Amino acid sequence: MLTRIDHIGIACFDLDRTVEFYRATYGFEVHHTEVNEEQGVREAMLRINGTSDGGASYLQLLEPTREDSAVGKWLAKNGEGVHHIAFGTADVDQDASDIRGKGVRVLYDEPRTGSMGSRITFLHPKDCHGVLTELVTARDEH
């Protein structure tokens, strides 16, 4: 069951400058940074709030590490902006399987590693009315 907005993924050209914008404008601080080479991103997670299911909601700021990555290609075509939305669930395997059964393309056969040791998968944007949609189980949930 999807129980929260885990994060909103925002593509940017310069992670440090974008982090500084969110700090100076809203007061949001960096909770975590990492490089995920499989996804081709350098990222910063800004924690916005805790949620009643024990998870949290974040902004995920994403800078590509290579031009041929998902975020690199998207930035070249669209410029900066909202790249994807991620729903949180205690059981990404079950939710991905259920959603696949409804005819929506799930991009990975098995969930992969996402931010902060989470397990993630994606739904194809063309099957989701134009929204690239991620499903996340946080590390403490699996």
Q: How far is the CB of 82 from ligand CMX (least distance, A)?
A: 8
Please work out the total of residues on this chain that contact ligand CMX, with binding judged by CB under 6 A. 22
132 closest CA partner among 83, 88, 87: 83
105 closest CA partner among 132, 75, 69, 74: 132
49 closest CA partner among 14, 20, 88: 88
Q: Is residue 107 a contact point for ligand CMX (CB under 6 A)? A: yes
For residue 88, what are the β-bridge partners? 4, 136
Question: According to CB under 6 A, which one of 2, 47, 65, 73 is a site residue for ligand CMX?
Answer: 73
Nearer to ligand CMX, 8 or 52 (CB): 8
| Residue 4 in tokens | 């929260």
Range in contact with ligand CMX (rule: CB under 6 A) among 23-31, 48-56, 71-79, 92-100: 71-79
113 CB-side CA count, 13 A: 9
Q: Is residue 55 a contact point for Co ion (CB under 5 A)? A: no
Q: Which residues bind ligand CMX (CB under 6 A)?
A: 9, 39, 41, 60, 62, 70-71, 73-74, 83-84, 107, 114-115, 120, 122, 124-126, 130, 132, 134
